[in-house]
Amino acid sequence: MRRIAWGVLLAGVAGGMVVLADLAWTWVRFGPHVTGLAEADPRRTAFMARRARQGRPPVDHRWVPLDSLPRPVVCAVVAAENARFFQHGTLDWVNQRAMLSRVLRGDFARGGSGIAQQLARNLFLTPDRTVRRKLREYVLAYKISHGLTKERQLELYLNMVEWGEGIWGVAAGSEHHFGRPVDALTPTETVLLAN
């Protein structure tokens, strides 16, 4: 019995070390890329690259500086995606607790990722729903939250996240869904686009 307990303990320690090594590798591998985002606009994301490998390259992608986007659009997106974005650090712990509660009940239909987490996932990771991806997402969200201003995170999110099949960025999403530039959206269209 004692031999089994030691075996389980050693397997747990070895498994924990593998996880920590993977997270350290994630930090080192993507750290310079996150740092570079403070000044340079990325050309594409891991999600864009994945879709291109699947034979589905971007249909449309437009970059609009944050200060050129209408305030109602920015506010609607923040309200829909991460209402406490400007009040919390890396994670919105209220959201994380709610997500954990749903997962423990077997409800995997909805995530609980904030803007920094979604940005980390879209820029560097995959859409796979695995524990490994989620842990790596937390590490990169921490790096993003501590390396970029909230405004820069929001600008990247609004320009690099998919707003429909092959439609990247809120400006392209506005044109695709409503046939008009983002600054010409009605209040109703703004809310619909954000959700």
Mean pLDDT of the chain: 85
Distance, CA of 171 to CA of 183 (rounded, Å): 9
Mind listing the pLDDT tens digit for each residue in 29-43? Answer: 888 999 999 999 998
Under DSSP, is residue 78 helix (H, G, I), strand (E, B) or coil? helix
Distance, CA of 68 to CA of 83 (rounded, Å): 21
Distance, CA of 169 to CA of 160 (rounded, Å): 5
pTM for the model stands at 0.81
What the block records as the tokens of 133 is 């991806």
Q: How many CB atoms lie within 10 A of CB 162?
A: 19
Nearest to residue 72, comparing CAs of 180, 183, 195, 158? 183
Angstrom CA distances, 145 to 26, 111, 150, 151, 173, stand at: 16, 19, 7, 11, 25
Cross-strand partners of 168? 61, 162
Nearest to residue 111, comparing CAs of 127, 87, 88? 127
Sign of CA pseudo-dihedral 143, 41, 69, 57 = negative
Contact of 83 with 122, CB cutoff 8 Å: no
Mean pLDDT by 10 residues, the chain (195 residues): 73 77 84 90 92 87 93 92 75 57 59 84 90 91 92 95 91 94 92 88
pLDDT of residue 11: 72
Distance, CA of 60 to CA of 78 (rounded, Å): 23
